[in-house]
Copies of this chain bind each other. A is one copy, B any other.
Amino acid sequence: MRLLMGPGPSNPDPRVLAAMARPMVGHLDPYFLQIMDDTMSMLRTVYRTENHHTIPMSGTGTSGLETIMLNLLEPGDEAVVGVIGYFGQRLHEMAERAGATVRVIEEPFGGVIDPQRVADEMAKRPAKLVALVHAETSTGAAQPIPEVAALARDHGALVAIDCVTSLAGMPVEIDAWGIDAAGSCSQKCIGAPPGLGPVTFGPRAMEVIGSRTSKPFTWYLDLNLLFQYWGDSGAPKQRAFHHTAPVSSVYALHEALRLILEEGLEARWERHRQAHAVLVQGLERLGLSLFTPAAHRLPMLNVVNIPQGVNDAAVRSAMLERGIEIAGGFGPLKGKTWRVGLMGVNADPERIETLLGALEEVLREQGFGG
């Protein structure tokens, strides 16, 4: 048993784990088709969108982001990607592999993209797609998505966001912000096991996908084929076989979404916000500071500076011996920071106190504090 306070997976609610063990049914069973429809509907609520084309991809969150890039982009297309950390770099890499010419707008780890830079870049030369990460898991920073999206759309671009870490833990407003495509994961603030990549595509994105001049390089993640199984908007459902859906994982996601709706999405955002405040206070009490500037800190993923003289790996393994997982830093922040996640059921004051108590003990053993 672990208390998972890294960047995910987080601990699923017991109801969600129980759903994983439900009896198997076929992927074309009327019972399962209803679960699929319900899952699409609840995902729309969580994404705050009316987009029909809202489904969990049969792969992890990464597969959802690749779905966006390989379906929206064709060889020769232009894309602008905002990079403020590892997961932005990954979007850049995926867009290039989809055949696009990519222009990168970059900020050093810890910063966020100034929306005006996106507008300036688009004024120089238009692009088909602007893509960026909402909540950058490697640096703990939240980007100003509504502002970027508005400017990008003004310049005629589609807007895609990675909301792997943000969805269900802080405001994500697909329709209100004018986002054309977004991808997330199952194992962070949604609170299911890892394995699914919820995505949503708006009408402008689906129009672009429907009028491609070449087939996507991927067959597995080809949305035009997938919606013959999940059901296209307006058309009578065909339910044509594409691949065998991961039935148990969809059960679990379905149950996790039910829990979110029972709690209320806005109440859940607020719970994550409050949990963050509890953690920040506690860290200050221990004499620890956060890496990410307060102006754009994420609530659910906190990047903590490792104090001088404290051994990163020793602390993390001593924490794990106490049953608590926290994560190391990423890229240039490796060895310099820890990443503490407060996601789903773990955005909870009692669990945060457990974490802080253990961390205080472990740091004292390392000769820090007390």
Enumerate chain A interface residues (CB-CB to B < 8 A). 1-2, 4, 6, 8-12, 17-18, 20-30, 58-63, 66, 70, 90, 93-94, 97-99, 185, 187, 193-195, 215-220, 241-249, 252, 320, 325, 327, 330
Contact = CB atoms under 8 A, between A and B. Distances in A.
Contact of A18 (B2, B21, B60): B21
A4 B218 CA distance: 30
B17 A24 contact: yes
Q: Which 6 A-B pairs have the closest CB atoms?
A: A195-B246, A217-B217, A62-B243, A20-B20, A21-B21, A193-B248
A60 B246 contact: yes
A4 B17 contact: no
Copy count, this protein chain: 2
Given A2-B29, A17-B24, A325-B29, A60 B244 contact: yes
Given A12-B24, A63-B220, 5 more contacts: A6-B26, A9-B26, A11-B24, A66-B219, A246-B249
Nearest to A192: B248
Nearest to A317: B30
A26 B325 contact: yes
A98 B194 contact: no
Contact of A193 (B29, B246, B325): B246
Contacts of A24: 2, 4, 9-12, 17, 193
Nearest to A193: B248
A61 B244 contact: yes
A59 B22 CA distance: 20
